[in-house]
Structures are given as structure tokens and as C-alpha cells.
């Protein structure tokens, strides 16, 4: 799924979150930045500092610049996708 920053903002407000800064304070090009939300790769995300793989159900990244890194969404899960407790 691909969402713009503005769409993510609207979703956060729909979920009842208080979003700061107020609407209209983003530069137009920033508010239209596209973010991809997808399932985490089967191998997980590799942390170069700790040399460890981490697994999550979903990740997000800048659609046009995936090489800039990925943001894990939600709690860490086991490699099989089941939540750790």
C-alpha cells in the first residue's frame, strides 16, 4: 500500500491521535511524499550495528528512496510472523 504523508496524517487523526505540527505547516512537496507500507521481508530487517536480523509484521519506507532505510511497524515478531510475548 502506498500512502502520502497527508493521507497518513488523516489516518492518524481518524484513529484519535493528536498530530503535530498543525495542518498546513508542511511544505507541499513533503506532504505529498509517498510512503510504502508492506509486509516485512521473510529474512527480516538487518541492523548493521548489531549484525542482527529483526522481524516485524509490517514495515514502511520512502517509496522513491527505499535505500534510505525502513521503519518497523508494530512489535517485533518471531521469524515465523507470530508475536513474541
Question: Could you please report the per-residue DSSP string of the chain?
Answer: -EEEHHHHHHHHHHTT---SSPTT-S-HHHHT-EEEEEEPPTT-EEETTTTEEE-EEEEEEETT-GGG--EEEEEEB-TTSPBP-
Peptide bond into 60 cis (omega under 30): no
Mean pLDDT of all residues in 45-56: 92
The pLDDT of residue 8: 93
Asked if the model's pLDDT at residue 4 lies above 80, the reply is: yes
The pLDDT of residue 29: 66
Asked if the model's pLDDT at residue 84 lies above 80, the reply is: no
Residue 85's pLDDT band (boundaries 50, 70, 90)?
low
Q: Which sequence spans correspond to the domains of the chain? A: 2-76
Q: What is the pTM of this model?
A: 0.78
What is the grid cell recorded at 69? 532505510
Amino acid at each position: 500500500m502506498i500512502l502520502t504523508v497527508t493521507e497518513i496524517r488523516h489516518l492518524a487523526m481518524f484513529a484519535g491521535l493528536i498530530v503535530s505540527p498543525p495542518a498546513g505547516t508542511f511544505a507541499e512537496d513533503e506532504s505529498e511524499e509517498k510512503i510504502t507500507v508492506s509486509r516485512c521481508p521473510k529474512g527480516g530487517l538487518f541492523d548493521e550495528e548489531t549484525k542482527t536480523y529483526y522481524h516485524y509484521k509490517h514495515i514502511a519506507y520512502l517509496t522513491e528512496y527505499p535505500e534510505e532505510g525502513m521503519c518497523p511497524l508494530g512489535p517485533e515478531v518471531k521469524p515465523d510472523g507470530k508475536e513474541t510475548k
